[in-house]
Amino acid sequence: MGFVQKEQEIDNYSGAKISEGEEIIISAYCKALVRGKHLPTVVAFSSVNTPKGNFKPYKTILDTKFNIVFVNDSGNNWYLKGVEGVGANFTESAKKIIEIARGIGNGWVMTFGTSMGAYGSMLYAAVGGADKCVAFGPEVMLDQPGSRSHQHKSKDAFLSYSTLLSYVKNSTSIFYLITSESDEVDLINAIAFTNISNVKVFSIRGVEHPGVQVFDAEIGIGKFIDAAINDTGSIMSFERAGTMLENKELIKDLWIAYGLKREKNFIGYLDYLLSIRDGYLNSSMYMLRLGEAYYRTGNYRRATECLKKSIDLDSLQFESYNLLGVIQRKQKIYPDSESNLLESAKISPRNPYPHHNLGLLYLDLGLLDKALLVFERAVALNKGNAIFAKSLADVKALING
């Protein structure tokens, strides 16, 4: 369907005549695509560092058959300062955006977002009164050390976890939170909502933050949104569903260990993990982190044992395959290294690290053309990584003589 672009003043919106096929520009940070007055509407919140006039994700969400309201944040404020051109604060913006979403369709609204957008989707669903919210990888406890909000969020934008919790608890919305099992920041935030009656929390294996990548690859985000609007229960019965959220103590211990690793206190990282080992030897995630700690302290034999056990416990543990491949490359066990790195990339194809490590392996073997291809893939997946960019430049220089 083609869309006829139309500028619309926000204050006059409620009385405007709506036509199917319209693209309504509300501001540089909010626009609506109208598919039909008889249809529900999804409000899609953009992730960090999305430029003015753009929305992210965008193309994949266009595949939904329902109405869409796209929203962006003007300064990585986690939507706490409102949406520019819509409202002066998040309360005003949330109410107006949900009102717009109800007005262009049949009145039923679902919010959707990933990472920063997940936070916005939760906050605006609760405050604005959406019917449903689906959020991938939200940080509900802002500015935790090592978190994405701590790295990217404007420091003068803040809302306490207790206030957000109150909004959610007192809301008539139903919330579906999905978190990656390989990300300690996501996990520690997820368990903060596991006992709230109108919040359903799920974990997903074999994918990094925010977790939506699996659904995007398998059916596309647009189709996922369609399924979530039609029947959230069935879409949440996914093949990679995990069980880590059942063990809150493990998540809390891994969060403590993560803090030591982030501070590069690798001896303390290993020591802490060993101090809690008796309760978690059957956890794939724990064995991965213990193997990582052994690797960081130079004990490749113990690291290899732990990583293999991690994989035995969960065949989708892509980080274990990747690190095992790194160790085997250092030990010049090249066939096994390649096999494990390829498996890591297969499980989580949008993670750049196994691609980069494959490039280093191919360089060791003198396979420059193969190294070039995987380095290009790593850079495409993470354009801001200086190490990846240097590896790509170096192999190009070797090829060009």
365 token code pair = 């073997």
Question: What is the pTM (predicted TM-score) of this model?
Answer: 0.92
| Residue the block writes with tokens 């020591």 | 271
Predicted confidence (pLDDT) per residue in 286-322, tens digit: 999 999 999 999 999 999 999 999 999 999 999 999 9
95 contacts 13 by C-beta, under 8 angstroms: no
Pairing of strands 22-27, 4-7: parallel
Give the model's pLDDT for residue 395: 96
Angstrom distance (rounded) from CA 101 to CA 304? 52
pLDDT digits (tens, 9 = 90+) for 265-296: 999 999 999 999 998 999 999 999 999 999 99
**pLDDT of the residue at 12:** 46
Q: Which range among 117-121, 220-224, 234-238, 254-258 shows the weakest confidence by mean pLDDT?
A: 234-238
According to the model, what pLDDT value does residue 254 have? 98
The whole-number pLDDT of residue 111 equals 98
For 30, the 3-state DSSP assignment is strand
User: Rounded mean pLDDT of 253-262?
Assistant: 97
| pLDDT tens-digit readout, 36-71 | 999 999 999 999 999 999 999 999 999 999 999 999
* Residue 25 phi, psi dihedral angles, 5° rounding: -85, 110
